[in-house]
């Protein structure tokens, strides 16, 4: 059904317009989605296995990666599709329009996407207000929401730590976890912040700001890295994360290692390197950090491979675009979290 809609409707829309329509659909679609689940039009996520990580009980291992719900407009609807959690953002300290259009392309031959959005978002204050409203409802409080923060384009690199800290202070009260994004290819100089000298003060100030904002509650803090980092740099970020007492690492963002035009490529072309990075990170950090694997998940086997390589949690963006609203529950229903054995055959058959 979704593949028909994808071919006949979605492909006719420019990708950014399709994205707007989808976010609006999920924003207003929580009730219809619930009805669709009840009528068994969509697979239910009730077979998903929970994961405990960073002191949080995630109802399922697969969550929505950052970038789709940049302004936290559609969290409840997205959770209703069967994602175990939703990472909103990237949110920057100040609102900004992002790069000029066009800035998003489908790469149909590889079932990928390419984008150079440039962190278009409404800014930390506006997103905080929206999350505050979300958290004022029972359903909104039950959703596991990560908040991904990035540097405002107009902020100079030397002021990056202050910029991230501002967002952390404003958004921590509503976040189950925070992610410092230093890996998007579409803000000039952002990825240079992955060097340990640049990253250390950003992570320290972000940690401090989150703690000031929420006394008595320690909001887990993660860092999101690029697949294009050299292996030694992956190790260096892992070592820094351990040294600073971070909670985890999200690996990976989109890749610039392609010749398809401007922007970062996502989907299957990122899969092998994301798997590699997850494996490397797990070998480096042992059980001390939570690893969130992301990149090229199209099937349950892809997600399971990330888990088997060491990811506690997985995320997807592109696979959801190509898979449609029934996709997250289907994938989550098939995943076996780390350290757990597959379900008994009789249980699996009853699905």
Q: Binding residues for ligand FMN, per CB under 6 A?
A: 65-67, 70, 89-90, 104, 113, 115, 117, 119, 148, 181, 184, 224, 253-254, 266-267, 270, 294-297, 316-319
Q: How far is the CB of 139 from ligand FMN (least distance, A)?
A: 24
Q: Which of 180, 164, 175 is nearest to 248 (CA)?
A: 180
DSSP-derived secondary structure for 126-195: HHHHHHHHHHTSHHHHHS-EEEEEE--TTS-GGGHHHHHHHHHHHHGGG-SEEEEE---TTSTTGGGGGS
Q: Counting every residue, how long is the chain?
A: 351
- Judged by beta carbon, residue 105 or residue 166, the one nearer ligand FMN is 105
Total Cβ atoms within 10 A of residue 139 = 12
Q: How far is the CB of 115 from ligand FMN (least distance, A)?
A: 4
Phi-psi domain of 182 (left: phi exceeds 0; alpha: psi -120 through 50; beta: other): alpha
Q: How far is the CB of 194 from ligand FMN (least distance, A)?
A: 13
- Judged by beta carbon, residue 36 or residue 313, the one nearer ligand FMN is 313
- Judged by beta carbon, residue 49 or residue 184, the one nearer ligand FMN is 184
Q: How far is the CB of 45 from ligand FMN (least distance, A)?
A: 18
Do the Cβ atoms of 90 and 149 come closer than 8 Å?
A: yes
Please name the residue that has the structure tokens 């072309």. Answer: 269
- Judged by beta carbon, residue 169 or residue 191, the one nearer ligand FMN is 191
Query: Is 350 among the residues known to form the active site?
Result: no
C-alpha 150/C-alpha 187 separation (Å) is 9
Q: Which residue is nearest to ligand FMN (CB)?
A: 67
Tell me the pairing of strands 51-53 and 56-58: antiparallel
Q: How far is the CB of 123 from ligand FMN (least distance, A)?
A: 13
Tell me the pairing of strands 104-107 and 112-115: antiparallel
- Judged by beta carbon, residue 296 or residue 310, the one nearer ligand FMN is 296
Q: How far is the CB of 65 from ligand FMN (least distance, A)?
A: 3
Going by the DSSP 8-state scheme, the letter that residue 100 receives in this structure is: P
DSSP-derived secondary structure for 180-232: EE---TTSTTGGGGGSHHHHHHHHHHHHHHHHHHSTT----EEEEE-TTS-HH
- Judged by beta carbon, residue 49 or residue 255, the one nearer ligand FMN is 255
Angle at 84 between CA 83 and CA 89, to 5 degrees: 75
C-alpha 189/C-alpha 153 separation (Å) is 9
Residues in a beta bridge with 106: 113
167, 183, 184, 298: the catalytic one is 184
C-alpha 22/C-alpha 142 separation (Å) is 23
Give the dihedral sign, CA 300/306/308/312. negative
Q: How far is the CB of 31 from ligand FMN (least distance, A)?
A: 27
- Judged by beta carbon, residue 143 or residue 316, the one nearer ligand FMN is 316
Give the residue numbers marked as catalytic.
Answer: 184
């Amino acid at each position: 059904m979704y593949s028909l809609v994808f071919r006949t409707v979605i492909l006719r829309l420019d990708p950014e317009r399709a994205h707007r329509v989808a976010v609006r659909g999920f924003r207003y679609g929580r009730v219809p989605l619930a009805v669709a689940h009840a009528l068994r039009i969509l697979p239910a996520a009730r077979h998903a296995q929970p994961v405990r990580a960073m002191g949080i009980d995630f109802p399922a291992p697969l969550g929505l990666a950052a970038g789709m719900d940049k302004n936290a407009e559609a969290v409840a609807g997205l959770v209703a599709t069967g994602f175990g959690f939703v990472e909103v953002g990237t949110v920057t300290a100040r609102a900004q329009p992002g790069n000029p259009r066009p800035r998003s392309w489908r790469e149909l031959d590889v079932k990928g996407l390419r984008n150079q959005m440039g962190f278009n978002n409404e800014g930390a204050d506006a997103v905080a207000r929206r999350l505050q409203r979300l958290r004022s409802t029972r359903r909104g409080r039950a959703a596991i929401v990560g908040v991904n923060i990035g540097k405002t384009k107009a902020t100079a690199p030397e002021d990056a730590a202050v910029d991230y800290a501002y967002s952390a202070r404003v958004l921590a009260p509503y976040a189950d976890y925070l992610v410092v994004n230093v890996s998007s290819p579409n803000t000039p100089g952002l990825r240079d912040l992955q060097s340990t000298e640049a990253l250390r003060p950003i992570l320290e100030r972000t940690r401090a700001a989150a703690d000031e904002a929420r006394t008595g509650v320690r909001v887990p803090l993660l860092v999101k890295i690029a697949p294009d980092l050299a292996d030694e740099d992956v190790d260096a970020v892992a070592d820094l994360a351990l040294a600073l007492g971070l909670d985890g690492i999200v690996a990976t963002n989109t890749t610039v290692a392609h010749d398809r035009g401007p922007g970062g490529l996502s989907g299957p072309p990122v899969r092998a390197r994301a798997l590699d990075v997850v494996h490397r990170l797990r070998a480096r950090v042992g059980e001390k950090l939570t690893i969130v694997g992301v990149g090229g998940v199209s099937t349950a086997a892809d997600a399971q491979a990330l888990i088997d390589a060491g990811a506690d949690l997985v995320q997807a963006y592109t696979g959801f675009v190509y898979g449609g609203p029934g996709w997250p529950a289907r994938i989550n229903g098939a995943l076996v979290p780390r350290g757990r054995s597959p379900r008994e055959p009789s249980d699996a058959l009853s699905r």
